[in-house]
């Protein structure tokens, strides 16, 4: 099966190379059959990659240690769920996942646009296949997942316990879906520039994919934050780690694009800016992929150096140079139809929104690459921590929230004072009311958090006002009940109201971040059983220690667990540390359990108000003499015992150790945290993703009718209504 | 005002804001950053006592924990020069011999004292370079 997998990669690579040639020749010679053949090469590449993907997954499931990657990242004791995810815990497997995602989304977009964008499709196909050729080539010539193990072992190294989390099943696939989906608008932007067809059609056709990429990457980022939150030593839900930043940068520029594209569609402005944003997002997506694998930056999530730094740098260089050349040489075709009429206009607010988002991206980029920038200037790497990021990110985020309140309701072209008062007065008052209520409730201590809460009230007020006005106008026309009118309003203008929902979601997320980072309580304490500590108004009591031996599904001893039962304000919680054995044969049979990997299981009691978080660090120093004695005894008796006897006696010895810990425990060290409103971060992100899906959901086919002047007076000038067979009464 | 003059003014204002932001970012970064050094670089540079550095390297086998404090040595990634470090905090779960770590240290006497909460251990799975023995 190794040969079959390798053959699939060869087919994928060959199909990519052929497809590039066929597409470009078909475009140049105007031979549609070659263009179609190029598109079918994408399907072939996707198909071959899918087969390779399945073959590798089957190898992991079967624990086929003939595969070097399976032997080094999985084991027979790894639960099935994690054997499936172990594939992308490896460099080779994650590259295959990347290519699989690319093949899937490329096939979909090219199938959906096979009768549209005929001038652009061949070039877009060539670009997408270019990415496919790169990734399949890297696997074929550098990091193949189908490499035979030097020697076939009886048991694999196993999946790193830190990666044994349900998040492992979805976080990487979501991130990679986001990255590969961003390749689609990138490819079509390149095609639009090459062919000089820079009207809004390619943007309209690729918008669902841009939105899907934004949703997938955003969701992947939040999943990673959620995972990081309940892992000890990963810095909470965000610590400005280079790998975290690498995923955030393309998301920020994509957010900017999704806003500014509305200006291009409405007023024909910002063409150069928009195409640059799309190209920049594609470059940043590849940059993120590069950062995880290159080892150029210190990261808690980047797993050391690999040999792929140079190929990725070459790819990035080609992408950047090509993009700059195309944009610079197509300036005539990218000229805007209109100019900015007034700084008090929706166009200006959206533009400012873009500047802020790009500024945020720049700050993140600067901070991420600062070690290398500093080395270029001073000869030495220097690093900055979260306080430096936050000094710039926080004020920019506050400006962004303010713009989110103003942007959706300010008039196009030129707003008047009356217009501003009418649209912003109520929401602004609501924001102030929120502030007054918070101050009256005793919330204080963080000025930036209070500003954020006030602005959040402003945004929510704006969104509520828009829903209210739209529903009221619809009721006036269609005489529907409020719920029906609301649903119909949203159905007929998904993009607009989906966008409002996204704003609400992001604001809720920001509120959670502001509250949890400004009003968090953390304490490290050492406690003996029966002792308590007060943290953030909560009483944490160490009830008793726990200990157990855990067997794998095949009956073999998998890990030792030392933990602690806690009671927090009457609620039972449990935290533990799992000790997995090392595979190092030089270690003793007992001590190898304490020299291998260890992972802490955090106790987390989440609520809509405050999260209670606890992690234990058991002190096993007292057990050291017993551990060393155990190694000595087994060492002396090694030749006299059969394998089964050795396992049995080892289990007895370890049981004695765990009983000794439970009966006479030393003080354990704990980290206790009380985090307010963290749950709203996850809720907000879900709302944002749902809003994004709603905004991108395709409307039913039918006539699109621009509201007549008289009708517009009733429902508002900016409402566009899609009608079907009936026309709405004027 | 002439529209093209308006546009020029707006462009200059926007550019000035961007330059200001970039300048503030650069200034803050350089003044608030910590220099990263491997052990051999620290030894060669004769660090100033009390100055904070970011030490990057691999944990040497044979470290000991006494109470809350761990005494270990950190060596160069590709070499054998090592420096002694004490750390009075909880060790991260992945902390092991031959693992790569990053930690902020301050020299006190002959020892480098790790700043609590700054110790990061790189996850060893996935894209590892060739294993080296301690």
The tokens describing A148, both together, are: 């035979």
User: Per-residue confidence at A329, pLDDT binned at 50, 70, 90?
Assistant: very high
pLDDT, residue B123, reads 66
Lowest mean pLDDT among A32-41, A184-193, B9-18: B9-18
Strand segments, DSSP code E, in chain B are 34-37, 52-59, 64-66, 69-75, 82-87, 100-108, 111-114, 120-121
Chain B residues with CB inside 8 Å of A597's CB?
Answer: 93-94, 96
User: Per-residue confidence at B6, pLDDT binned at 50, 70, 90?
Assistant: confident
User: Per-residue confidence at A295, pLDDT binned at 50, 70, 90?
Assistant: low
Lowest mean pLDDT among A154-168, A173-187, A453-467: A154-168
Q: Pick the residue from chain A with its C-alpha nearest to B25.
A: A363
C-beta of residue A266 within 8 angstroms of C-beta of residue A412: yes
Taking residues A167-174, report their average pLDDT. Answer: 90
The yes-or-no verdict on residue B133 having pLDDT over 80 is: no
Q: Determine contact: B71 vs chain A, CB below 8 A.
A: no
pLDDT, residue A727, reads 36
Residue A534 bridge partners (DSSP): A539
The tokens describing A322, both together, are: 């090509």
pLDDT, residue A638, reads 66
Picking from A208, A237, A27, the residue whose alpha carbon sits closest to that of residue A127 is A27
**Count of CB atoms within 10 A of residue A290's CB?**
18
DSSP state of B86: E
Cα angle A360-A220-B124, degrees, rounded to a multiple of 5: 95
Residue with token string 């980047």: A302
Chain A residues with CB inside 8 Å of B35's CB?
Answer: 380-382
Q: How far apart are the first and last CA of chain B?
A: 73
To the nearest whole number, what is the mean pLDDT of chain A? 88
To the nearest whole number, what is the mean pLDDT of chain B? 83
**Longest alpha-carbon distance in chain B:** 76
Chain B residues with CB inside 8 Å of A343's CB?
Answer: 10
Query: What are the phi and psi torsion angles at A241 (to 5°)?
Result: -70, 145
The yes-or-no verdict on residue A197 having pLDDT over 90 is: no
| Distance in angstroms (rounded) separating the CA atoms of residues A559 and A243 | 30
Q: Check residues A270 and A338 and name the one with the higher pLDDT.
A: A270
Picking from A443, A500, A516, the residue whose alpha carbon sits closest to that of residue A680 is A516
Taking residues A350-370, report their average pLDDT. Answer: 94
Q: How many CA atoms lie within 13 A of A182 on its CB side?
A: 35
Lowest mean pLDDT among A146-150, A276-280, A581-585, A703-707: A703-707
Query: What are the phi and psi torsion angles at A403 (to 5°)?
Result: -65, -30
| Distance in angstroms (rounded) separating the CA atoms of residues A481 and A308 | 60
Burial-class residue A66 by CB neighbours within 10 Å (0-12, 13-18, 19+): middle
User: Per-residue confidence at A299, pLDDT binned at 50, 70, 90?
Assistant: low
The yes-or-no verdict on residue B124 having pLDDT over 70 is: no
State the sign of the Cα–Cα–Cα–Cα dihedral A508, A513, A514, A515.
Answer: positive
The yes-or-no verdict on residue A639 having pLDDT over 90 is: no
Distance from CA of B81 to the nearest CA of A (A): 19
Cα A205 to chain centroid, rounded: 24
Closest residue to B25, CB basis, from A159, A300, A363 = A363
C-beta of residue A540 within 8 angstroms of C-beta of residue A646: no
Q: How does pLDDT run across A508-524, given as a tens digit for each residue?
A: 999 999 999 999 999 99
Q: At what angle do helices A386-406 and A417-440 cross, to 10 degrees?
A: 130
User: Per-residue confidence at A430, pLDDT binned at 50, 70, 90?
Assistant: very high
- Helix, strand or coil for residue A142? coil
User: Per-residue confidence at A388, pLDDT binned at 50, 70, 90?
Assistant: very high
* Alpha-helical regions (H) of A142-197: 167-195
| Distance in angstroms (rounded) separating the CA atoms of residues B37 and A598 | 28
Residue A579 bridge partners (DSSP): A560, A598
CB proximity list for A251: less than 8 A, separation 6 or greater: A178, A214, A217, A218, A221
Residue B69 bridge partners (DSSP): B66
The answer to whether B126 contacts A162, with C-beta atoms less than 8 Å apart, is no
C-beta of residue A566 within 8 angstroms of C-beta of residue A543: yes
| Distance in angstroms (rounded) separating the CA atoms of residues A226 and A231 | 9
| Distance in angstroms (rounded) separating the CA atoms of residues A360 and A574 | 39
The answer to whether B93 contacts A340, with C-beta atoms less than 8 Å apart, is no
Q: How does pLDDT run across B34-62, given as a tens digit for each residue?
A: 888 899 988 888 777 788 888 999 999 88
Chain B residues with CB inside 8 Å of A168's CB?
Answer: none
| String of DSSP letters for A342-369 | -SSSHHHHHHHHHHHHHHHHHHHHHHHH
Using CA atoms, how far residue A369 sits from A165, A180, A224, A300, A403, in Å, is: 29, 23, 21, 15, 29
pLDDT, residue A709, reads 46
The yes-or-no verdict on residue A705 having pLDDT over 50 is: no
CB proximity list for A546: less than 8 A, separation 6 or greater: A561, A562, A563, A564, A565, A574, A576, A662
Give the A:B interface size as CB pairs under 8 Å: 139
pLDDT, residue A454, reads 96
Q: Check residues A91 and A700 and name the one with the higher pLDDT.
A: A91
Q: How does pLDDT run across A199-242, given as a tens digit for each residue?
A: 778 888 888 889 999 999 999 999 999 998 988 766 789 989 88
Q: Check residues A133 and A333 and name the one with the higher pLDDT.
A: A133
Q: How does pLDDT run across A80-115, given as a tens digit for each residue?
A: 999 999 999 888 999 999 999 999 999 998 998 888
Q: Pick the residue from chain A with its C-alpha nearest to B4.
A: A339
Share of chain A above pLDDT 90, in %: 59
Chain B residues with CB inside 8 Å of A363's CB?
Answer: 21, 25
Q: Which of B105, B127, B133 to mutate to test the interface with A (most CBs of A within 10 A)?
A: B127
Closest residue to B32, CB basis, from A162, A163, A388 = A388
The tokens describing A356, both together, are: 């802020």
Closest residue to B56, CB basis, from A233, A298, A303 = A298
Picking from A660, A648, A682, the residue whose alpha carbon sits closest to that of residue A505 is A682
Q: What is the pTM of this model?
A: 0.89
**Count of CB atoms within 10 A of residue A264's CB?**
21
pLDDT, residue A298, reads 59
The tokens describing A73, both together, are: 């990242």
The tokens describing A187, both together, are: 């490819």
Lowest mean pLDDT among A31-45, A534-548, A705-719: A705-719
Q: Determine contact: B29 vs chain A, CB below 8 A.
A: yes
C-beta of residue B127 within 8 angstroms of C-beta of residue A143: no
Q: How far apart are the first and last CA of chain A?
A: 68
The yes-or-no verdict on residue A257 having pLDDT over 50 is: yes
Lowest mean pLDDT among A148-162, A179-193, A465-479: A148-162
Picking from A20, A237, A276, the residue whose alpha carbon sits closest to that of residue A136 is A20
Chain B residues with CB inside 8 Å of A234's CB?
Answer: none
Mean pLDDT highest for which of A147-156, A505-514, A631-640?
A: A505-514
Segment 140-159 of chain A within 8 Å of chain B by CB: 159
| Distance in angstroms (rounded) separating the CA atoms of residues A286 and A91 | 15
Residue with token string 């009966």: A663
pLDDT, residue A564, reads 95
CB proximity list for B47: less than 8 A, separation 6 or greater: B53, B107
* Alpha-helical regions (H) of A296-416: 309-329, 346-378, 386-406
The yes-or-no verdict on residue A158 having pLDDT over 80 is: yes
| Distance in angstroms (rounded) separating the CA atoms of residues B106 and B54 | 9
């Amino acid at each position: 099966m190794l040969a079959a997998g390798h053959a699939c990669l060869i087919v994928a690579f060959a199909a990519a190379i052929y497809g590039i040639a066929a597409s470009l020749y078909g475009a140049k010679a105007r031979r549609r059959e070659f263009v179609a053949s190029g598109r079918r090469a994408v399907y072939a590449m996707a198909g071959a990659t899918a087969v390779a993907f399945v073959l590798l997954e089957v190898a992991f499931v079967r624990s086929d240690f003939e595969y070097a990657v399976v032997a080094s990242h999985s084991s027979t004791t790894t639960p099935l769920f994690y054997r499936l995810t172990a594939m992308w815990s490896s460099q080779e497997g994650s590259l295959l996942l990347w290519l699989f995602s690319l093949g899937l989304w490329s096939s979909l977009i090219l199938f959906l646009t096979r009768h549209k964008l005929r001038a652009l499709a061949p070039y877009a196909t060539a670009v997408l296949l270019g990415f496919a050729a790169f990734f399949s080539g890297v696997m074929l010539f550098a990091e193949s997942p189908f490499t035979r193990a030097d020697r076939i072992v009886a048991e694999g190294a196993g999946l790193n316990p830190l990666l044994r989390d349900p998040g492992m099943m979805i976080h990487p696939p979501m991130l990679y879906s986001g990255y590969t989906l961003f390749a689609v608008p990138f490819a079509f932007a390149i095609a639009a520039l090459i062919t000089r067809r820079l009207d809004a059609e390619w943007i309209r056709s690729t918008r669902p994919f841009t939105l899907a990429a934004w949703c997938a990457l955003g969701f992947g980022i939040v999943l990673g934050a959620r995972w990081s939150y309940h892992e000890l030593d990963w810095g909470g839900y965000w610590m400005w780690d280079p790998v975290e930043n690498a995923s955030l940068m393309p998301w920020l520029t994509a957010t900017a694009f999704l806003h500014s594209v509305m200006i291009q569609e409405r007023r024909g402005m910002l063409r150069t800016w928009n195409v640059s944003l799309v190209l920049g997002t594609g470059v940043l997506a590849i940059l993120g992929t590069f950062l995880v694998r290159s080892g150029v930056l210190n990261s808690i999530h980047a797993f050391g150096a690999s040999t792929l730094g140079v190929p990725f740098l070459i790819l990035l260089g080609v992408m950047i140079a090509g993009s700059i050349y195309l944009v610079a040489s197509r300036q005539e075709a990218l000229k805007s139809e209109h100019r900015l009429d007034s700084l008090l206009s929706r166009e200006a607010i959206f533009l400012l929104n873009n500047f802020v988002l790009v500024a945020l991206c720049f700050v993140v980029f600067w901070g991420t690459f600062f070690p290398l920038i500093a080395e270029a200037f001073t000869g030495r790497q220097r690093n900055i921590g979260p306080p430096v990021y936050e000094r710039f990110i926080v004020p920019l985020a506050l400006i962004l929230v303010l713009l989110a309140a103003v942007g959706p309701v300010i008039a196009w072209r030129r707003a008047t004072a009356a217009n501003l008062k009418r649209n912003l007065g109520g929401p602004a008052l609501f924001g102030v009311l929120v502030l007054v209520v918070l101050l009256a409730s005793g919330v204080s201590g963080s000025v930036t958090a209070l500003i954020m809460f006030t602005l959040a009230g402003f945004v929510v007020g704006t969104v509520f006002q828009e829903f209210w006005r739209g529903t009221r106008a619809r009721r006036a026309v269609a005489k529907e009940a409020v719920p029906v009118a609301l649903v119909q309003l949203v159905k007929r203008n998904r993009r607009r109201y989906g966008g409002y929902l996204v704003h609400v979601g992001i604001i809720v997320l920001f509120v959670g971040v502001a509250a949890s980072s400004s009003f968090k309580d953390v304490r490290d304490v050492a406690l003996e059983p029966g002792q308590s500590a007060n943290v953030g108004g909560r009483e944490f009591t160490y009830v008793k220690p726990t200990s157990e031996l855990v067997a794998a599904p095949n009956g073999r001893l998998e890990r030792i667990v030392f933990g602690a039962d806690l009671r927090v304000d009457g609620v039972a919680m449990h935290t533990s540390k799992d000790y997995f054995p090392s595979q190092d044969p030089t270690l003793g049979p007992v001590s190898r359990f304490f020299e291998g990997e260890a992972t802490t299981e955090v106790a987390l009691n989440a609520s809509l108000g405050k999260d209670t978080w606890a992690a234990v660090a058991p002190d096993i120093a007292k057990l050291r003499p017993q551990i060393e004695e155990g190694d000595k005894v087994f060492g002396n008796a090694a030749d006299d015992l059969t394998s089964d006897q050795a396992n049995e006696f080892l289990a007895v010895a370890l049981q004695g150790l765990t009983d000794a810990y439970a009966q006479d425990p030393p003080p354990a060290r704990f980290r206790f945290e009380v985090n307010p409103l963290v749950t709203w971060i996850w809720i907000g992100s879900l709302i944002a993703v749902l809003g994004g899906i709603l905004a991108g959901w395709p409307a039913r086919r039918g006539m699109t009718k621009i509201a007549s002047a008289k009708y517009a007076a009733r429902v508002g000038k900016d409402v566009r209504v899609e009608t079907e067979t009936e026309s709405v009464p004027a | 005002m002439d529209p093209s003059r308006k546009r020029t003014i707006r462009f200059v204002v926007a550019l000035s804001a961007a330059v200001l932001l970039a300048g503030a970012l650069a200034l803050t970064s350089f003044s608030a950053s910590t220099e990263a050094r491997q052990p051999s670089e620290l030894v060669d540079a004769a660090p100033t006592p009390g100055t904070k550095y970011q030490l990057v390297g691999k944990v040497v086998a044979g470290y000991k924990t006494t109470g809350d404090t761990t005494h270990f040595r950190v060596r160069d990634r590709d070499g054998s020069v090592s420096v002694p470090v004490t750390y009075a905090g909880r060790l991260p779960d992945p902390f092991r011999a031959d693992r790569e770590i990053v930690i902020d240290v301050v020299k006190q006497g002959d020892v480098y004292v790790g700043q609590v909460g700054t110790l990061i251990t790189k996850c060893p799975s996935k894209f590892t370079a060739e294993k080296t023995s301690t």
